[in-house]
Amino acid sequence: MMNATEFLALCLQIGFGLILAAVALAFLRLLRGPSLPDRVVALDLMTVSIVSFCGLYAMATRERAFLDVAMSLALVGFLATVALARFAERRQAGKPSGKEGT
Protein backbone atom coordinates (compact mmCIF):
# COMPACT_ATOMS: atom_id res chain seq x y z
CA MET A 1 0.00 0.00 0.00
CA MET A 2 1.20 3.50 -0.87
CA ASN A 3 1.69 6.22 1.66
CA ALA A 4 0.88 9.88 0.95
CA THR A 5 4.42 10.84 -0.10
CA GLU A 6 4.67 8.04 -2.64
CA PHE A 7 1.23 8.85 -4.00
CA LEU A 8 2.15 12.53 -4.41
CA ALA A 9 5.37 11.58 -6.20
CA LEU A 10 3.43 9.32 -8.56
CA CYS A 11 0.85 12.01 -9.27
CA LEU A 12 3.59 14.56 -9.95
CA GLN A 13 5.31 12.22 -12.42
CA ILE A 14 2.02 11.55 -14.22
CA GLY A 15 1.31 15.28 -14.27
CA PHE A 16 4.71 16.07 -15.76
CA GLY A 17 4.15 13.47 -18.46
CA LEU A 18 0.72 14.81 -19.37
CA ILE A 19 1.99 18.38 -19.49
CA LEU A 20 4.85 17.31 -21.74
CA ALA A 21 2.36 15.62 -24.07
CA ALA A 22 0.16 18.74 -24.11
CA VAL A 23 3.10 20.99 -24.98
CA ALA A 24 4.24 18.63 -27.75
CA LEU A 25 0.76 18.42 -29.30
CA ALA A 26 0.25 22.18 -29.04
CA PHE A 27 3.63 22.74 -30.69
CA LEU A 28 2.55 20.51 -33.59
CA ARG A 29 -0.65 22.53 -33.95
CA LEU A 30 1.42 25.72 -33.83
CA LEU A 31 3.57 24.49 -36.70
CA ARG A 32 0.80 22.99 -38.84
CA GLY A 33 -1.84 25.67 -38.41
CA PRO A 34 -3.76 25.83 -40.74
CA SER A 35 -5.05 29.27 -39.75
CA LEU A 36 -3.88 32.10 -37.52
CA PRO A 37 -6.57 31.50 -34.86
CA ASP A 38 -5.44 27.87 -34.59
CA ARG A 39 -1.90 29.03 -33.99
CA VAL A 40 -2.99 31.60 -31.40
CA VAL A 41 -4.93 28.95 -29.46
CA ALA A 42 -1.95 26.57 -29.66
CA LEU A 43 0.37 29.25 -28.32
CA ASP A 44 -2.05 29.98 -25.49
CA LEU A 45 -2.27 26.26 -24.67
CA MET A 46 1.52 26.06 -24.56
CA THR A 47 1.62 29.03 -22.17
CA VAL A 48 -0.98 27.47 -19.87
CA SER A 49 0.89 24.17 -19.97
CA ILE A 50 4.17 25.83 -19.04
CA VAL A 51 2.45 27.68 -16.18
CA SER A 52 1.10 24.38 -14.88
CA PHE A 53 4.57 22.85 -15.25
CA CYS A 54 5.96 25.64 -13.06
CA GLY A 55 3.27 24.94 -10.48
CA LEU A 56 4.01 21.21 -10.44
CA TYR A 57 7.73 21.86 -10.27
CA ALA A 58 7.17 24.19 -7.31
CA MET A 59 5.26 21.40 -5.57
CA ALA A 60 7.93 18.83 -6.36
CA THR A 61 10.87 20.94 -5.18
CA ARG A 62 9.05 22.95 -2.49
CA GLU A 63 10.52 26.10 -4.05
CA ARG A 64 8.08 29.02 -3.90
CA ALA A 65 9.97 31.10 -6.45
CA PHE A 66 8.50 29.01 -9.28
CA LEU A 67 5.01 30.11 -8.26
CA ASP A 68 6.06 33.72 -8.87
CA VAL A 69 7.44 32.68 -12.24
CA ALA A 70 4.17 30.91 -13.05
CA MET A 71 2.09 33.94 -12.10
CA SER A 72 4.23 36.29 -14.16
CA LEU A 73 4.16 33.96 -17.14
CA ALA A 74 0.37 33.65 -16.87
CA LEU A 75 -0.02 37.44 -16.97
CA VAL A 76 2.34 37.81 -19.93
CA GLY A 77 0.65 34.92 -21.72
CA PHE A 78 -2.77 36.49 -21.23
CA LEU A 79 -1.58 39.81 -22.62
CA ALA A 80 0.07 38.07 -25.58
CA THR A 81 -3.12 36.16 -26.36
CA VAL A 82 -5.19 39.35 -26.25
CA ALA A 83 -2.70 41.14 -28.51
CA LEU A 84 -2.64 38.28 -31.02
CA ALA A 85 -6.45 38.09 -31.00
CA ARG A 86 -6.66 41.82 -31.73
CA PHE A 87 -4.11 41.40 -34.53
CA ALA A 88 -6.14 38.54 -36.01
CA GLU A 89 -9.34 40.57 -35.75
CA ARG A 90 -7.81 43.56 -37.53
CA ARG A 91 -6.29 41.32 -40.16
CA GLN A 92 -9.67 39.70 -40.77
CA ALA A 93 -11.40 43.11 -40.93
CA GLY A 94 -8.99 44.23 -43.63
CA LYS A 95 -9.85 41.35 -45.96
CA PRO A 96 -12.77 41.75 -48.34
CA SER A 97 -15.35 39.07 -47.62
CA GLY A 98 -16.99 39.15 -51.05
CA LYS A 99 -20.36 40.05 -49.49
CA GLU A 100 -20.21 43.77 -50.25
CA GLY A 101 -22.63 44.88 -52.90
CA THR A 102 -25.00 41.95 -52.52
Residue 36 vs residue 6, higher pLDDT? 6
How far is the C-alpha of 82 from the C-alpha of 88, rounded, in Å? 10
pLDDT digits (tens, 9 = 90+) for 58-74: 999 999 999 999 999 99
pTM metric for this prediction: 0.81
How far is the C-alpha of 56 from the C-alpha of 47, rounded, in Å? 14
Of 94, 78, 85, 96, nearest in space to 35 by CA: 85
Encoded amino acid at 56, one letter: L
Residue 101 pLDDT exceeds 70: no
Encoded amino acid at 32, one letter: R
How far is the C-alpha of 42 from the C-alpha of 4, rounded, in Å? 35
Question: What percentage of residues in the chain have a pLDDT greater than 90?
Answer: 68
Residue 82 pLDDT exceeds 60: yes
pLDDT digits (tens, 9 = 90+) for 15-46: 999 999 999 999 999 999 898 888 889 999 99
Query: What value, to the nearest 5°, has the Cα angle with vertex 50 and ends 7 and 27?
Result: 115
Give the domain ranges of the chain.
Answer: 33-93
